[in-house]
Amino acid sequence: MSRFAKDPAALRDVSRRAFLQIAASIAALPVMDRAAWALPAAARLADDPFTLGVASGDPSPTGVVLWTRLAPKPLQLDGGMTPEAVDVSWVVASDERLSKIVKQGVVRAGPDTGHAVHVEVEGLDADRWYFYGFRTRDHASPVGRTRTMPADDVMPASLTFAFASCQHFEHGYYNAYRGMAADSPDMVFFLGDYIYEYAGEKKKTDSKDARVRIHEGPKLKSVADYRRRYAQYRSDAALTSMHASCPWWVTWDDHEFENNYANLVSSLKDVDPKAFVVQRAASYRAYYEHMPLRPSSIPKGPDMQLFRKGRFGRLMDFHVLDTRQYRTDQVNGDGQRLLDDDAYSPENTILGRRQREWLEAALGASKGTWNLLAQQVMMGAVGRRSKTPGAYTYSMDQWPGYMDERNKLLRFLGEKKVANPVVITGDIHSNWVNNLRVGDREGKGPIVGTEFVGTSISSGGNGTEVPKALEDLLSDNPSLKWHSAERGYVRCVVTPKSWRTDYVAAPDVLTQGAGVVTRKSFEVAAGSPGV
Ligand code: FE
Ligand code: CA
């Protein structure tokens, strides 16, 4: 693994060298190319505009999206940019010094996108690592590393990917990403709560409710507010460095907009519905601007299509879901409730009809050995003891609040013999392993898939290895196989025969640079769902 992923200082070092290398390579280019590479700068920038680093995402066998955003003063509402557009050159090379250039071009970054840049590179070789960088007339970005996917008809020997969610900036440092970078995964899935929308709190050192650093500004409302929040989160070098290490597939949950929202319904009282739509548009726009997404994801007003699919050769098809934008309002409120007729109503949907039809078609057409569903909220029905003995409550914000649709999807997986479904999930700041079946509450019926719920990067502060009520949860829920509540991330190693999931804990997120430890591993054999 190249050292820059582990060490942000090395990354800066490489970028300085890369800058000189780029200058040298420009001199060697034919005249037309040199003109393209030297063209930059409608406006000159005195300060380094690449403070937010670089990222890549949504790779295919032939291309990938490269991302950066110009923000010389990231904590200012305008990022420190004047309204002028700036030309930004980009380059993809086969070496870390960016001397062996394979693709290059120039794009214009303007105030309409917060000076964000999304480059869709095409014409790359399949199953290869590449390096990339950006520059303006006066500054060069750090160098990023990315890769293409194997060709669709090739069976790769293995795939290593990581997934993560929930990185509340105030609650802890992103130590998990240092461990993740050391794994050198082929790609990362981020499953939501990339930012939190809350106002800055007071710095507290009390370890139970610590705030190790403070959100800039009030509760988010305008597009400028949301932009500044993303910029502040990217000031964590471990996060920025992980983005520069490999391509990411991102999806959101609720906090990229507002806690526990459902489509256009706020979970708060007395919200003006019109203002809420405007705020959703602002939050979706800032999300797009900060993620390495294809321009086909550009929001149209308050709508943005994020559900999409990808493929790692014949080894794995993956389906990235959006369970927030199209869902019906949570029944009985958002919290824990007994499962009643409302929870089972076929009127409830967590996917929305269009996404569900798309998902069923994609699963039906999949040729992958494994089928990954990368999504937000827990699908396994895990009951908690209520005050009434023998009666259990379930989270109405999760799939059990949409029980009819959940069971239809699980039945579909079984009846259509979808190959080896694995669900990965975020949201609840704790680790859970569930064998999925329609009757998972009773432990009855065939297991149709496996769910790995990953804990938060930092949200909730330091966690615990043995959560409250663990014994009750395990004895009451026969399909629940493991649960813990430390911070961390999850690593998956996938081969044609087996799937290994390693839960990696970051036990101390209150100390910057504290280490990680692999706590628990699970194996799924191809052809035999469940752990
Ligand atoms: Fe969260
Ligand atoms: Ca959430």
Q: What is the CATH number of the domain that holds 69?
A: 2.60.40.380
Q: Are strands 159-164 and 187-190 parallel, antiparallel or unpaired?
A: parallel
- Residue 374 Cα to ligand 2 midpoint, Å, equals 14
Please state, in angstroms and rounded to a whole number, the distance separating the CA atoms of residues 391 and 345.
20
Nearest bound ligand to CA 398?
Answer: 2
Same domain, 434 and 313: yes
- Residue 247 Cα to ligand 1 midpoint, Å, equals 22
- Residue 255 Cα to ligand 1 midpoint, Å, equals 7
- Residue 456 Cα to ligand 1 midpoint, Å, equals 7
Backbone angles phi, psi at 45, to 5 degrees: -115, 120
DSSP string, 306-361: --EEEEETTTEEEEE--SSSSPPPPTTSSSEEE--HHHH-TT--SS-HHHHHHHHH
pLDDT score for 468: 87
pLDDT score for 249: 98
Please state, in angstroms and rounded to a whole number, the distance separating the CA atoms of residues 280 and 286.
10
Cβ(474)–Cβ(480) under 8 Å? yes
- Residue 398 Cα to ligand 2 midpoint, Å, equals 10
Same domain, 154 and 108: no
Please state, in angstroms and rounded to a whole number, the distance separating the CA atoms of residues 328 and 296.
25
- Residue 40 Cα to ligand 2 midpoint, Å, equals 41
Same domain, 159 and 112: no
Q: Is residue 126 in a domain?
A: yes
Report the candidate in 234, 243, 51 with the shortest Cα–Cα distance to residue 146: 243
Of 96, 119, 146, the one marking the end of a domain is 146
- Residue 371 Cα to ligand 2 midpoint, Å, equals 23
Nearest bound ligand to CA 258?
Answer: 2
- Residue 253 Cα to ligand 1 midpoint, Å, equals 8
Q: Is residue 18 in a domain?
A: no
Of 146, 172, 188, the one marking the end of a domain is 146
Please state, in angstroms and rounded to a whole number, the distance separating the CA atoms of residues 6 and 293.
24
Stronger pLDDT, 387 or 1, i.e. the higher one: 387
| DSSP symbol at 234 | T
Q: What is the CATH number of the domain that holds 408?
A: 3.60.21.70
Nearest bound ligand to CA 377?
Answer: 2
Same domain, 108 and 161: no
pLDDT score for 42: 54
Same domain, 96 and 178: no
Stronger pLDDT, 210 or 17, i.e. the higher one: 210
pLDDT score for 34: 35
**H or E element, residue 24:** helix 8-28
- Mean pLDDT of the region 500-516: 97
Binning pLDDT at 50, 70 and 90, where does residue 208 land? confident
- Residue 268 Cα to ligand 1 midpoint, Å, equals 17
pLDDT score for 444: 85
Binning pLDDT at 50, 70 and 90, where does residue 301 land? very high
- Residue 364 Cα to ligand 1 midpoint, Å, equals 31
Same domain, 134 and 183: no
pTM score > 0.85 for this model?
A: yes
Cβ(34)–Cβ(130) under 8 Å? no
**Which SS3 state, helix, strand or coil, does residue 284 take?**
helix
Q: Is residue 21 in a domain?
A: no
pLDDT score for 43: 60
pLDDT score for 9: 44
Binning pLDDT at 50, 70 and 90, where does residue 25 land? very low
* Other residues' Cβ atoms within 10 Å of the Cβ of residue 214: 15
- Structural domain span for residue 59: 31-146
Kindly report the average pLDDT of the chain as a whole number. 91
Tally of domains in the chain: 2
* Residue 437: half-sphere exposure toward Cβ, Cα within 13 Å: 17
- Residue 323 Cα to ligand 1 midpoint, Å, equals 14
- Residue 193 Cα to ligand 1 midpoint, Å, equals 5
Task: Encode pLDDT of 131-177 as tens digits.
Answer: 999 999 899 999 999 999 999 999 999 999 999 999 999 999 999 99
pLDDT score for 432: 98
Same domain, 112 and 179: no
As a whole-number percent, the residues of the chain with pLDDT over 70 amount to 92
Ramachandran sector of residue 214 (left: φ over 0; alpha: ψ -120 to 50; beta: rest): beta
**DSSP H stretches of helix in 61-208:** 175-183
- Residue 149 Cα to ligand 2 midpoint, Å, equals 29
Same domain, 119 and 188: no
- Residue 147 Cα to ligand 1 midpoint, Å, equals 29
- Residue 141 Cα to ligand 2 midpoint, Å, equals 32
Same domain, 398 and 464: yes
Please state, in angstroms and rounded to a whole number, the distance separating the CA atoms of residues 15 and 239.
17
Cβ(85)–Cβ(116) under 8 Å? no
- Residue 191 Cα to ligand 1 midpoint, Å, equals 10
**Which residue's structure tokens are 């706590």?**
519
Q: Is residue 331 in a domain?
A: yes
pLDDT score for 440: 84
Same domain, 433 and 319: yes
Q: Is residue 16 in a domain?
A: no
- Residue 86 Cα to ligand 1 midpoint, Å, equals 35
Same domain, 515 and 455: yes
* Other residues' Cβ atoms within 10 Å of the Cβ of residue 310: 19
Same domain, 207 and 74: no
Binning pLDDT at 50, 70 and 90, where does residue 31 land? very low
Report the candidate in 373, 372, 329 with the shortest Cα–Cα distance to residue 349: 329
- Residue 459 Cα to ligand 1 midpoint, Å, equals 6
Nearest bound ligand to CA 254?
Answer: 2
- Residue 296 Cα to ligand 1 midpoint, Å, equals 27
Nearest bound ligand to CA 430?
Answer: 1
Report the candidate in 164, 233, 208, 162 with the shortest Cα–Cα distance to residue 455: 164
Q: Is residue 67 in a domain?
A: yes
- Residue 164 Cα to ligand 1 midpoint, Å, equals 11
Q: What is the largest CA-CA distance in the chain?
A: 80
- Residue 197 Cα to ligand 2 midpoint, Å, equals 11
| Residue 478 one-letter amino acid | P
Q: Give the N- to C-terminal CA distance of the chain in Å, as an integer.
A: 30
Of 120, 146, 172, the one marking the end of a domain is 146
- Residue 103 Cα to ligand 2 midpoint, Å, equals 38
- Residue 33 Cα to ligand 2 midpoint, Å, equals 46
Q: Is residue 530 in a domain?
A: no
pLDDT score for 334: 82
Q: Is residue 531 in a domain?
A: no
Nearest bound ligand to CA 458?
Answer: 1
Length of the chain: 531
- Mean pLDDT of the region 312-333: 96
Nearest bound ligand to CA 194?
Answer: 1
- Residue 215 Cα to ligand 1 midpoint, Å, equals 16
Backbone angles phi, psi at 452, to 5 degrees: -115, 110
